[in-house]
């Protein structure tokens, strides 16, 4: 399955804003799309209005079909799973019971499983035996994809020919996908940048200004690179779209859920108040990222500070001020 034409039908699991946006992107690339949603009301709304409730203002074309039946996804040549990292295992286990193995399963999750310390492709491999794990990540807001604004992301698989074929099958003029054979680097960039976005949001929420944000982002990216290299990620991946590119987007915009979460913490809101009903991905990732770094002797003081703030073991202002006063290493 290394020819783009082999992927004529794409299954998208999850009809939230990002899932609907990726379904729309695949449809624009000329694919038939099966969009699975758990909620029957969501499917009914799409059938009736052609608009996904979580992605308002953007009509889904007729080559997107919505369903609540997991079995309908058996017609898909590849499955794109758009649920959060902490839900990925449960969803893939359910799909494994309903669908045959052997097809690519593309995760768009940006995090590390909190209970196991496993990355997204590892979770997919465990939860859906016989599947072919793939990762999709990069600087992309659902609203931008939905509006057809120029966006570029990275898709990675251990098989470089498969990665290329999927990237070509899902790309369109406004949604460019670059392919990679470094899935670990892509998923580390996606996971760690969320923690950095929380830190950047906290700094702005505290009123520390743009210079402080820039310092935290630069030092945080050095942490990301140390962690990535220790786990076998390629340097060019970490410097690319799914690493540096996603750091720039997530740490600079209040559209980023993780940045907005950090901003609220910096403004004095509690974790519960800042989460607005559901924790941001980086809130789950911070503690496991810090724990994994410590186990390998990797210095990640920003990740540690974010984890401590979320756990309630450190004052927000004291933690961030301490980071900014910390002596610099040669490589930041």
CA atoms within 13 A on the CB side of 160: 3
Contact status, residue 37 vs residue 17, Cβ threshold 8 Å: no
- Eight-class DSSP state of 2: -
Nearest by Cα to 86 from 122, 121, 123: 123
3-state helix, strand, coil in the chain (%, to 5): 55, 15, 30
β-bridge pairing 78-81 and 104-107: parallel
Distance from C-alpha of 126 to C-alpha of 137, rounded to nearest angstrom: 20
Nearest by Cα to 318 from 272, 251, 265, 259: 265
Name the catalytic one among 28, 103, 193, 213: 193
Residue 168 tokens read as: 């070509």
193 catalytic residue (yes or no): yes
Catalytic center residues: 193
């Amino acid at each position: 399955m290394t020819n783009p034409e082999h992927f004529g039908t794409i299954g998208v699991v999850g009809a939230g804003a990002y899932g609907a946006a990726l379904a729309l992107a695949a449809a624009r690339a000329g694919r038939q799309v099966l969009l699975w949603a758990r909620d029957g009301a969501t499917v009914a709304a799409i059938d009736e209005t052609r608009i996904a409730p979580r992605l308002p203002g953007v009509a889904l074309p007729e080559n997107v079909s919505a369903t609540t039946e997991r079995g309908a996804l058996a017609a898909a040549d590849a499955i794109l799973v758009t649920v959060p990292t902490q839900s990925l295992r449960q969803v893939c286990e359910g799909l494994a019971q309903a669908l045959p193995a052997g097809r690519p399963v593309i995760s768009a999750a940006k995090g590390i499983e909190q209970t196991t310390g496993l990355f997204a492709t590892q979770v997919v491999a465990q939860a859906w035996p016989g599947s072919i794990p793939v990762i999709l990540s990069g600087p992309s807001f659902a609203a931008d994809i939905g509006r057809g604004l120029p966006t570029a992301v990275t898709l990675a698989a251990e098989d470089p020919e498969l990665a290329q074929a999927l990237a070509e099958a899902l790309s369109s003029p406004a949604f460019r996908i670059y392919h990679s054979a470094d899935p670990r680097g892509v998923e580390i960039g996606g996971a760690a940048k969320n923690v950095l976005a929380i830190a950047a949001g906290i700094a702005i929420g505290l009123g520390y200004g743009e210079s402080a944000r820039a310092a935290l982002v630069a030092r945080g990216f050095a942490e990301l690179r140390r962690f990535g290299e220790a786990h076998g990620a390629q340097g060019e991946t970490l410097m690319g779209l799914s690493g540096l590119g996603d750091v720039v987007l997530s740490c600079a915009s209040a559209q980023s859920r993780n940045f907005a979460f950090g901003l609220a913490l910096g403004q004095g809101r509690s974790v519960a108040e800042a989460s607005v009903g559901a924790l941001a991905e980086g809130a789950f990732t911070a503690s496991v990222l810090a724990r994994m770094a410590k186990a390998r002797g990797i210095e990640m003081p920003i990740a540690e500070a974010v984890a401590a703030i979320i756990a309630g073991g450190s004052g927000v202002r004291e933690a961030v001020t301490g980071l900014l006063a910390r002596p610099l290493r040669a490589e930041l």
